[in-house]
Amino acid sequence: MTRIRLGMVGGGADAFIGGVHRIASRIDDRFELVAGALSSTPEKARDSGAALGLDPDRSYGSFDEMAEAEAAREDGIEAVSIVTPNHVHYPAAKAFLSRGIHVICDKPLTATFEDAEAMEAAVRDSKALFILTHNYTGYPLVRQAREMVANGDLGELRLVQVEYPQDWLTDTLEAEGVKQAEWRTDPARSGAGGAIGDIGTHAFNLASFVTGLKAAELAADLHSFGAGRALDDNAHVMLRYDGGARGMLWCSQVAPGNENGLRLRVYGSKGGLEWAQEVPNELWFTPHGEPTRRLTRMGAGASDAANAVSRIPSGHPEGYLEGFANIYTAAAEAIRGVQGGAAREDVMGLLPDIRAGLDGMAFIRACVASSKGNARWVSL
């Protein structure tokens, strides 16, 4: 497979997530970064392009300039990664989708539900693919957990417990000029959800991905502990799923001692599963009435679903970057598939798409509405 010519919007030299996307795109040698509009100001964008070794003629001052110029080139980009604050996702994606350029977008989908609906229309009207980087769905043992649930190993699902605690906003870093904290706590750039949008959507997506369950209703208590903080930094959410299963979701960015504690537990009539992102190479399975079993990536008991997205032998840890890379590699295969004439719906596989993005936005909207109504039950 020849490398896909990739552009990037956002993700300049000082942006953590931009570096993650660039590494992930290159792990399996499927992409080559050839163009970028890497910052919100033209000068910073070009400085970042120079730092990354981009051709100065392909380091652009804005995403509109980049979309127009690259679409006109015979060797223009085939796909673009959008790694900006949330409010830029829709206008940037639209600029490229309208020109038939495939879009790989960071989550959540957009800042507002209105933009999310407009994004859905832009995807529908384009021949290009749209992929949302819910990267935790790319972990090998998450794929195995999903397969085990689908195979009935847990029986009828009853309980879903998912949590995602962090501690990095325990202090009001946004008041100290920390860029990542500034935009994530700003409703104009982040949207209506703070922690619930930034990490709560990951937890919600992971639970849905593994269980296959669709949430019907929720009751949420959102709160901001940071002095003067406009958006939530902690959320407790109860969930009712179609079919009768019940769930609880906790996300927090003010829980000292927690770094990136994404954790999922699923229980059914025949057994339970437990997985934690900080120990991603272990999956704990307890058949009802039997001893708990430790399953490892590519170890004894690893499934084909886990092995298919593993790279190195058992006992060698794989994690965040490799999970991200699995999304990018699947995206590359999907792009080459549609370029070869396959239908969009036939190439996406397990890739998170516009539907996953809309589900996440509906989750944020319902959480905010519920919390404003004193944690009343709200339909999704």
User: What integer is the mean pLDDT of 250-263?
Assistant: 98
Q: Are 12 and 42 in contact (CB under 8 A)?
A: no
Residues 6+ apart with CB under 8 A from 332: 1, 4, 28, 30, 31
**The total number of residues written for the chain in this structure:** 380
User: What integer is the mean pLDDT of 273-289?
Assistant: 98
Q: In this structure, what is the dihedral angle of CA atoms 254, 257, 263, 265, given to the nearest 10 degrees? A: -100
Give the DSSP per-residue string, 201-244.
HHHHHHHHHHH---EEEEEEEEE--STT-SS-SEEEEEEEETTS
Residue 98: phi and psi, rounded to 5, are -65, -15
Instruction: Give the pLDDT score at 40.
Output: 83
CA distance 310 to 307: 5
Instruction: Give the pLDDT score at 50.
Output: 93
Range 333-359 burial, b when 16+ CB lie within 10 A, else e = ebbbbbeeeeebeebbeebbbbebbbb
Instruction: Give the pLDDT score at 344.
Output: 92
Pairing status of strand 215-223 against strand 157-165: unpaired
pTM: 0.96
Q: H or E element: which one contains 100?
A: none
Instruction: Give the pLDDT score at 154.
Output: 98
Beta bridge partner(s), residue 71: none
Q: H or E element: which one contains 141?
A: helix 140-150
Domains contained in the chain, CATH given? 4-128 (3.40.50.720), 139-312+360-379 (3.30.360.10)
For residue 41, count other CB atoms closer than 10 A to its CB.
11
Q: Categorize the per-residue pLDDT at 300 as very low, low, confident or very high, splitting at 50, 70 and 90.
A: confident
Q: Categorize the per-residue pLDDT at 234 as very low, low, confident or very high, splitting at 50, 70 and 90.
A: very high
Average pLDDT value for the chain: 96
Residue among 192, 199, 81 at smallest CA distance from 136? 199
13, pLDDT greater than 80: no
Query: Could you tell me the strand order of the sheet in which 4-10 lies?
Result: 31-37, 4-10, 79-83, 102-105, 130-132
CA distance 100 to 150: 35
Instruction: Give the pLDDT score at 56.
Output: 95
Instruction: Give the pLDDT score at 74.
Output: 97
The DSSP output letter for 57 is: G
